[in-house]
Amino acid sequence: MSDAFHMVFGSRSGYNARMPKLTVETVGEFEVPANKRLVNALSDEAKIDQLHACGGFARCTTCRVQFIAGEPEKMTEAEKQVLTARGLIGQSGLRLSCQILCDHDMSVRAISRLAGSGRADAGARPADEITPPPVWTDRA
């Protein structure tokens, strides 16, 4: 490969994609592996006690976050259905962290945490892939 290719796409040892930056209000800034589920990034990289009672299947709304910046334009049909059913779909920036991939920089407020919830634990760890398999739609 040419030197120009390596200047654009990274070193000769492999592709070096920039990792998205996740900013969690009052917690800090974290580099997150590209396309990691936001719910897992909150637990793994930000080390917060993010709730996810249903295990990341978009069946509950305990993994809610409030976007400050970088809210994705798309959402899964599963997220849209549960937010609509709970009367939460119109609330600006309110999203389910289990249905979002960290594929760009974003800033969130963690509004659904284990501390103070009265729950015994945050819930079973969500899978690495979005569940159910995502069908993407516009968020509005």
Percent of the chain with pLDDT over 70: 89
Domains observed in the chain: 21-114+132-137 (3.10.20.30)
Q: What's the distance, Cα to Cα, between the start and end of the chain in Å?
A: 44
Identify whether the C-beta of residue 19 lies closer than 8 Å to the C-beta of residue 33: yes
pLDDT digits (tens, 9 = 90+) for 69-93: 999 999 999 999 999 999 999 899 9
Dihedral sign (CA 124, 19, 46, 112): negative
Task: Tell me the C-alpha distance between 79 and 59, whole Å.
Answer: 8
Segment 86-104 mean pLDDT: 97
Q: What's the predicted TM-score (pTM) here?
A: 0.88
User: Higher pLDDT residue, 79 or 139?
Assistant: 79
Q: Examine residue 134 and say whether the peptide bond preceding it is cis (omega within 30 degrees of 0).
A: no
Query: Which pLDDT score is estimated for 14?
Result: 46
Write out the two tokens for 91.
């609330």
